[in-house]
Amino acid sequence: MSHKPLGRFSWHELMTPDPDSARDFYSAITGWSTGTWDAGGKPYEMWMNGDMPVGGLMDLPAPEVPPCWLAYVSTPGLDGTLAKVRDRGGSVLKEMAVPQVGRFAVLADPQGGVIAAIEPEGDAAGHDGPPELGEFSWHELATGDADAAWAFYSDVFGWRAADRMDMGETGFYQMFGLGAHPLGGIFNGPPEMRAIGWLLYVRVPDVHAAVKTVADLGGRVLNGPMEVPDGDVIAQCTDPQGVAFAVHATAADGAE
């Protein structure tokens, strides 16, 4: 019996105008290698964390698509998920089926945040436990209306509220998950933010070393390194093509 849970982040795809540069850049920061999957008829490059694929790397699929990281959320039934998206004011930007992979759709929430939903043919990728080194560890949405965004995503993907942190004038930072392990947070982005949307965090052993590599290889450090309330350390960055991403080390990493 296949396992197609609702609400798990199961894939992360980088769409970039320069895959060669991106391959070298992210591999140096995360320790990833790359591999090729060609069973679908067209070769597809994957990010490999050891022997485990954690995402994909591809050229921009169309001129109107900006360089970005796109997170995929698993669903046991894509049609039902997309009906909820439309009913709750979101929009479906693209639908597609890939043989031996499944059906997926790129969608936008009512505030404009872009994410993807996937109904896999077999088991959903990823796992429900704490993230390992080299895995995506946090998914953070900066939006123009955090309460409305939370209502949308909790309904569409079944995410459950976790801790809620008061951020003062900008409102609350709403953390969410599927069970004991939190998956990310949603908050009102301040007006000066460079962009509104989803920011993906990768767990690394040392954030300070990672941001030095970011700068050395032509990326930018936007914020951090900084310690967050649980003792973890994070930094938000962009790669040389301007794509935002973040790095994260746990308090346990720093103690090792």
- Give 136-163 pLDDT, tens digit per residue: 999 999 999 999 999 999 999 999 999 8
pLDDT tens, 8-18?
999 999 999 99
DSSP code at position 169: G
DSSP state string for 163-206: EEEE-GGG-EEEEEESSSSEEEEEEEPPTT-S--EEEEEEE-S-
Cβ atoms of 53 and 11 within 8 Å: the answer is no
Backbone angles phi, psi at 211, to 5 degrees: -70, -30
- In whole angstroms, what is the distance from residue 60 CA to residue 65 CA? 6
Contacts of 19 (CB under 8 A, 6+ apart): 45, 57, 58, 59
Q: In terms of pTM, does the model score above 0.85?
A: yes
**CA atoms in the 13 A half-sphere facing the CB of 232:** 15
The type of residue at 251 is A
∠ Cα 13 147 153 (to 5°): 40
